[in-house]
Structure 1
Amino acid sequence: MSERRIVYVVGSGRSGTSTMAGTLRTLGLHVPQPEVVADATNPKGFGEPRWVVDLHAELLARSNVQVSDARPRAWLDTGTTSGDHAVRERVTAWLEEQFAVADELVIKDPRAAWFLGLWRAGADRCGATSSYVTMLRPVTEVVGSKQTYYGQMGAGSDQGAVTRTAAWINMMLHTERATRGQQRAFVRYGDLLDDWTQPVFALGEAFDLAGVKTAMAVDIAEVHRFIDPSLRRVTMTWDDIGVPARLRELADETWQVLDALAADDTAELQETCDQLRAAYAEQYADAEAFAHSTVVAQRRTAAAEARREAGEQSPGGRSGADRVPHAVRAMVPPAARQKLRRAMGRERPA
C-alpha cells in the first residue's frame, strides 16, 4: 500500500474535531501550514489549514450552501461543484505540495464534509490512501456549544436551536453515507477526553499511521498536556434546547445509530442511517411546504426594497416622475413632456 496517507477529520463543528486533529498533529502527522489562528472559541487551536478553509468558503459560496445547511438538496449542489475539473486540479496540486513536506497528513475542517468526493479524488490522483475519522458528540451539546460560542441565528433562541439541530442531522447522516465503504472510524468526543490513548492508538493500527504507531514518550506526554477534560465546557440537554418533538426524535435516533457505529460498523446500522436520512428529507419537505407563504412574502419584501433602492416604480406606487411636484412638472412644455413620456414608455393614449 502507498506510504502517502491522509486522515480527514470530519463531523459537525464543536464535536471535538479540533482536539482530534491536534492530537494527531502532536503525534507526528502533518497539518498543512499555515493554520487558522486560535481564538476564544477554540483556545488550543483549530488544527485547520488556512488554504483548505479558504477553498471551502469559496466553494460553498459558489454552491449557495451554508457551513451548517439543513437542506438535503444542498448535497447535490456541493456535489456538482466537487466534480469541477479545475477545482480537482487545484486540490491535487496543493496536496502534492504537502506531500513534499510529509507522507502523512491530517486535514480537518467542518466544511470538508460537503466536498469529500473532491478530496478523495485528489488523494487518489496523488497515490495516497484516504481515511476518515468522524467525531461524535451528543447533538444537544453540539447545538448548545454553537449557541454559546457562535451566537443566535434569527430572532430567538428556539429558532437558532431548530436550525442547528436540523443541520446537525443533515450533516451527520450524509457524512456517514459519504464515507461508507471507505477506511473509516467513529470516535466519541467523550472517549477522547476520558482516555485518548485507546481511540487514537486504535486509529493508528486501523489506518496504519506510522506517526501514531511510532510515537515517542515525549509526544505522548505532550498529548496528555494538550487534551484537557475541561474542554467539554458545554453540557446541555433537551431541557435547555427547545425544538419540535419530531425533530427531537429524529436527532435522538440519529445519535443512537451513530453512537452504535462507533462500536460496530455493521450493514444493519448503515441501513438504519438510510432510513433516517429518508425520514429527515420527508420532514424537511413538509417544513418547506408549511413555510412556503413566508418565503414568498420575504421574496416580495426583498424585491420591493431592491426597487426602492434603484428608484424604480413599485406595483401600486408612484414612479419617480409622479413624485415630482405638479408645479415643477407644469414648467416643462407639453411637447417636451410628451417626448419624455414616449422615451420612458409611458405615453398616454390619444
Structure 2
Amino acid sequence: MSTRRVVYVVGSGRSGTSTMAGTLRTLGLHVPQPEVVADATNPKGFGEPRWVVDLHTELLARSNVQVSDARPRAWLDTGTTSGDHATRERVATWLEGQFEAGDELVVKDPRASWFLGLWRAAADRCGATSSYVTMLRPVTEVVGSKQTYYGQMGAGSDQGAITRTAAWVNMMLHTERATRGQQRAFVHYGDLLDDWTRPVFALGEAFDLTAVRTAMAVDIAEVHRFIDPSLRRVTMTWDDIGVPDRLRELADETWRALEAVAADDTTAHQEWCDQLRTAYATQYAEAEAFAHSTVVAQRRTAAAQARREAAGQAPEPARRSGADRVPHAVRAMVPPAARRTLRRAIGRERPRGPGQGPA
C-alpha cells in the first residue's frame, strides 16, 4: 500500500489556512519549494508553493474568475479550464517530482478550491492519498480581515463587504461539496490558536500522517513558537460590516451548516448545504437581473466609444457617471462582474492587486 499522502489545506483566504499549512510543515510534511515570501499581511509566512500559486493564477485568468468570486457559475468556468488533458498532465508531472522530497506533502493556496478535481486526479495518478483540511473562521472575521489588509494595500480593493461576504458563501459551500465523499476534516481557526495540539494530532490520526504521529519534542516546541494567539488580529461582528439582512441571514445559516458538518458529517447536514447553495444561486441570479439594464446601457456606451475611436474621433468629454449619483447601498447590490463591466465602460477600472491568498 502506498505511503504517499497529499494534504490540501482549503477554504477561504484569511481563515487560518496559512497557520495550518505552516504547522504541518513544521511537524515534517513537505511544502514544495520555493514558497511565497512572507509580507506584512502574513508575517509568519503563507505556506504556499510558488509554482501552485502561479498555476492557479494562470488558470483563473483563463477562466475569467477572481480569487474570491461570488458568481455560482464561476465553478463551471474553472472546471472547464482545468479539465483539459494537457493541464492534468502538467500538474501530475509536477506533483510526482515533489515526492522526491518526501512521501507526505501539504499543498495550500486559497485558489486551490477552484481546482480540487484537478488536484485529486493528479494525486491519483501519482498513487497518493488525498486528504482535505477545510479551515473554518466566522465570516465577519474573514471579511473584516480582508477589508483591513487587502483594502489598505490595494489587493482586491474594489471588493466591498457585500461582495466579500457573498464570495465567502460561494467559496465555502462549493468547497464542502467538492470535498464530500473524500478523506476530510474541518478545523476551527480559534481551536488552532487556543490549543493546536488537539486538532492537529487528531488530523495526524485521521489522515495517517507519519510525520505528525511521530513528531519529535523539538518540532512540537517549534510549533508552539510558530502559533501565536495574537495572529487573530481582526475580530469583527455584523455591526462592523454593512451587509443587507438577506445576505447576512444566508451567511449565518451557511456558517451553522458548516459547523454541523464539522461536528457530524452526515447526509442530512450535507443536504442542508445543498439547499443553501441553491438558495444562494437564486439570490445571486436575482441580483444580476436587477442590474441587467445598467449593464446593457453601459455596454452600448462602450460600443459607441469604440466606434468613435475606430473612426478617429475624439472621445466624448468626461462626465460624472451615473454610478456616482446612485446611493452606495444600491451600487453595492450590483454583482462584482457587472460593476467591473461598468467601470471598464466608463474608463474607471480600478487597478488589480497581486492577489488574495494569505490566511
Superposition TM-score, scaled by structure 1 size: 0.86
Q: Contact conserved, 2:32 with 2:98, CA < 8 A, in 1?
A: yes
Q: Does 1:299 align with 2:305?
A: no
1:41-52 alignment to 2 at 5 Å? 41-52=41-52
Residue matched to 1:147: 147
Q: 1:236 corresponds to which residue?
A: 236
Shift of 1:301: 3.2
Match of 1:172 in 2: 172
State the 1:309 CA deviation.
Answer: 4.2
- Which residue is 2:11 aligned to? 11
Q: Distance in 1 between matches of 2:99 and 2:305?
A: 51
Moved more, 268-277 or 159-168: 159-168
1:101 corresponds to: 101
Shift of 1:304: 3.5
- What is the one-letter code of the residue matched to 2:161? A
* Partner Cα separation in structure 2 for residue 315 and residue 211 of structure 1: 63
Greater relative contact order, per chain length (Cα 8 Å cut-off, separation 6+):
2
Name the TM-score, length of structure 2 as normaliser: 0.84
Does residue 30 (structure 1) correspond to residue 27 (structure 2)? The answer is no
CA drift at 1:266: 1.2
Match of 2:201 in 1: 201
**Equivalent position of 1:77 in the other structure:** 77
Distance of 2:15 and 2:260 partners within structure 1: 17
**Contact 2:309/2:315 (8 A) holds in 1:** no
Pick closer, same or farther for the CA change 1:152–1:164 going to 2, 3 Å: farther
Is contact 1:304–1:314 with CA below 8 Å preserved after alignment? no
CA drift at 1:308? 4.2
Tell me how far apart the structure 2 counterparts of residues 44 and 304 of structure 1 sit (CA, whole Å): 50
* Residue 61 (structure 1) aligns with: 61
Question: Structure 1 regions of 5+ residues with no counterpart?
Answer: 317-350
Contact 2:78 2:115 in 1 (8 A): yes
> Who is 1:122 aligned against?
122
| Structure 2 residues not aligned, in runs of 5+ | 317-359
Q: Which residue of 2 aligns with 1:345?
A: none
Counterpart in the other structure of 1:278? 278
Which stretch has the larger CA shift, 274-283 or 145-154? 145-154
> 257-266 or 169-178, which moves further after superposition?
257-266
Alignment partners' CA distance in 2, 1:303 and 1:244: 33
The residue number in structure 2 matching 1:217 is 217
**Aligned residue type for 2:272:** T
Identity value in percent:
88
CA distance in 1 between counterparts of 2:22 and 2:305 reads 47
Matched-pair contact (CA < 8 Å) for 1:158–1:243 = no
Contact 1:31/1:107 (8 A) holds in 2: yes
Where 1:106 maps in the other structure, the secondary structure is strand
- 1:184 to partner: Cα distance: 0.2
Q: Is the 8 A contact 1:158 1:241 kept in 2?
A: no
Query: Highest CA radius of gyration, 1 or 2?
Result: 1
- Give the counterpart letter for 2:278 in structure 1: A
* SS of alignment partner, residue 107 of structure 1: strand
CA distance in 1, matches of 2:234, 2:142: 8
For 2:11 and 2:68, how far apart are their aligned partners in 1? 11
Where 1:184 maps in the other structure, the secondary structure is strand
RMSD: 2.1
Displacement of 1:205 after TM fit? 0.2
Q: Secondary structure at the match of 2:101?
A: coil
Deviation, 1:312, is 4.7
CA distance 1:213–1:250, shift in 2 (3 Å): same
Deviations 1:62-106 (A, max 9, x none): 111110000000000001112110000000110011001111000
Q: Deviations over 1:273-315 (max 9, x none)?
A: 0000000000000000001112122323333443444445699
8 Å Cα contact 1:205/1:213 also seen in 2: yes
- 2: CA distance between counterparts of 1:42 and 1:250? 29
- Distance in 1 (CA, whole Å) between partners of 2:18 and 2:37 is 12
C-alpha contact (below 8 Å) 1:120/1:130 kept by paired residues: yes
1:255, distance to aligned residue in structure 2 (A): 0.5
Shift in alpha-carbon separation, 1:228–1:152, aligned structure 2, 3 A: closer
| Residues 87/191 of structure 1: CA separation in 2 closer, same or farther (3 Å cut) | same
Q: Take 1:255 and 1:36, find their aligned partners in 2: how far apart are those partners? A: 30
With over 3 angstroms needed to count, the CA separation of the structure-2 counterparts of 1:228 and 1:297, relative to structure 1, is same
Residues 305 and 315, structure 2, Cα contact 8 Å, conserved in 1:
no
Q: Is the 8 A contact 1:34 1:50 kept in 2?
A: yes
Asked if structure 2 preserves the Cα contact closer than 8 Å seen for 1:10 and 1:17, the reply is yes
Indicate the SS of the match to 1:131.
strand
